[in-house]
Amino acid sequence: MTEKETLQRISLTGPESAGKSTLAAQLAAHYGTTFVPEFARAYLETHGPAYTLPDLEAIARGQLAAEDQAAAHATSRLFCDTDLLVIKIWAENAFGTCPAWVLAELARPRYVLTLLLASDLPWAPDPLREHPDPAQRKHFYNLYRAELVGRSWPFAEISGAPAQRFAQACAAVEGVG
């Protein structure tokens, strides 16, 4: 078995302002490995906050490339601050459709675990975020959860105060076979 075959990729997903970036960095530091930042943030900071469906495709390709590049430097685990599930839900919400190649990629197993972060943290304003309303955030959380259940992906729901979230995430990660 090669290192790439034994690397456990773990994604963090969920609605905006759920603490994905913070938790991904904390987990990587705790486990002495690396994490993949959300490619969309860098892309939108460069190209502006207005986006098209082709922009989402470029973001998806950039996220996958960043994951593959980071995998070369990771230890036994790689934490991914977002995944293509975010692109799917984002595209369907904004444009009513998702590119077929993204759907095909989602059908391929990529992560041993997905951490689904609840929207129970306070909203942190950010010019790149779009849905501050608590009801909207809960709606998106439910979309992510339904996708994970429907795809039968292994996932753990993470909620509560930051320390609770970290403990829940560590327990879920350590429970991966």
Residue 35: predicted pLDDT? 92
Question: Looking at the whole model, is its pTM more than 0.75?
Answer: yes
**Segments in the chain below pLDDT 70:** 1-5, 121-134, 177
The CATH code of the domain that includes 151 is 3.40.50.300
Residue 1: predicted pLDDT? 32
The dihedral formed by the CA atoms of 90, 11, 61 and 49, expressed in degrees to the nearest 10: 40
Please name which of 138, 143, 103 lies closest in space to residue 120, comparing C-alpha atoms. 138
| b/e sequence 11-32, b meaning 16+ C-beta within 10 Å | bbbbbbbbbbbbbbebbbeebe
Question: Per the structure, how many domains does the chain have?
Answer: 1
Q: Which domain holds residue 127?
A: 3-174
